[in-house]
Amino acid sequence: MVRGLGSVYLLEQRVAREQRKARIENLPFELQRNFNLMRDLDQRTEDLKGQIDSLAKEYTANARTLSSEQKLSILRQIQQSYSKCKEFGDDKVQLAMQTYEMVDKHIRRLDTDLARFEADLKEKQIESTDYDSTSSKGKKGDSRQKEKKAAKTRSKVKSSDEDGSPKSAQKKVKLLQPGEFNSPSSNFGNVHPSDVLDMPVDPNEPTYCLCHQVSYGEMIGCDNTDCSIEWFHFACVGLTTKPRGKWYCPRCSQDRKRK
């Protein structure tokens, strides 16, 4: 359905472009036609002016010898010629106004098309930016997951080596993977936050929480998908049991209140 609507939209855009192109291509011919008509009106007006001058000269030269009827006839011809000149002048003014409106209409259409084109271009740029941002975020998330999985593997190998010695004084660190469980929290044993300072930590192992330490004990995940930290130790965020419903870390809670 969406594909069909997109095809109709593209077809309409194509037809509109062809119509605009045809109007622009026809503009010179329409202007040329109007200019030729105005030039023809100018020529006919000049011819009438010549006739008026001839009649006026005839009247003044033969005024004494012409009869009243002849004088009246010449004056009527002069009056008719002046009326024709006025009609030609009015027609020329109408053609000039029509030509002006024609050019002005094309300019306004071009301005509208230009504004629409700029709006479409901005929309495509925004869509492209959103796509690049989403793609970059997805790649960053995949990279983070791979890094955590690799750290977990190193941690498991290290724990296995420590289990081999019967009296190991070192405490084991278990890494919590967010994607391993359906619930946002999991129990890894009761380990106090201060104990982590005594734990041997791989420098490449990822850190979590507000304390920027590795995963240990009970941890809870922030329900904000854009949270930069994601996972927190119960003790660091003042929790003793898993809360009901959605839970947001202190930073995300403040951001939500600001919005």
Beta strand pairing call for 219-221 and 231-233? antiparallel
pLDDT given at position 113: 80
- Is residue 76 predicted with pLDDT exceeding 90? yes
Binding residues for Zn(2+) are 209, 211, 222, 227, 233, 236, 249, 252
- Is residue 233 predicted with pLDDT exceeding 80? yes
Q: Edge-to-edge, what's the strand order for the sheet holding 185-186?
A: 185-186, 219-221, 231-233
Q: Which of 176-180, 196-200, 206-210 has the lowest mean pLDDT?
A: 176-180
> pLDDT tens digits for 20-51?
677 667 778 888 888 999 999 999 999 999 99
Q: Which of 235, 222, 155 is nearest to 184 (CA)?
A: 222
pLDDT given at position 110: 83
Residue-range domain boundaries for the chain: 2-140, 171-258
Q: Which of 143, 124, 145 is nearest to 135 (CA)?
A: 143
> pLDDT tens digits for 1-23?
444 445 665 666 677 667 767 76
Q: Which residues have C-beta within 8 Å of that of residue 209, sequence separation ≥ 6?
A: 219, 229, 231, 232, 233, 236, 237
- Is residue 192 predicted with pLDDT exceeding 60? no
Q: Which of 131-135, 138-142, 171-175 has the lowest mean pLDDT?
A: 171-175
Mean pLDDT of 64-73: 91
171-258 has CATH 3.30.40.10 classification:
yes
Extract the tokens encoding 77. Answer: 């011809």
How far is it, in rounded angstroms, from Cα 75 to Cα 72?
A: 5
- Crossing angle, helix 2-61 and helix 68-163, to 10 degrees? 160
How far is it, in rounded angstroms, from Cα 259 to Cα 254?
A: 9
- 253 within 8 A of 228, measured Cβ to Cβ: no
Mean per-residue pLDDT over the chain, rounded: 74
> pLDDT tens digits for 86-130?
999 999 999 999 999 888 888 888 888 888 888 888 888 887 776
Binding residues are 209, 211, 222, 227, 233, 236, 249, 252
pLDDT given at position 167: 37
Q: Which residues have C-beta within 8 Å of that of residue 170, sequence separation ≥ 6?
A: 162, 199, 200
Q: What is the model's pTM? A: 0.40
- Is residue 58 predicted with pLDDT exceeding 80? yes
Q: How confident is the model at residue 207 (pLDDT cuts 50, 70, 90)?
A: confident
How far is it, in rounded angstroms, from Cα 102 to Cα 68?
A: 51
- 206 within 8 A of 148, measured Cβ to Cβ: yes
pLDDT given at position 150: 58
- More confident call, 120 vs 140: 120
CA 108 to each of CA 80, 103, 115, 143: distance values in angstroms, whole numbers, following the listed order: 42, 9, 11, 52
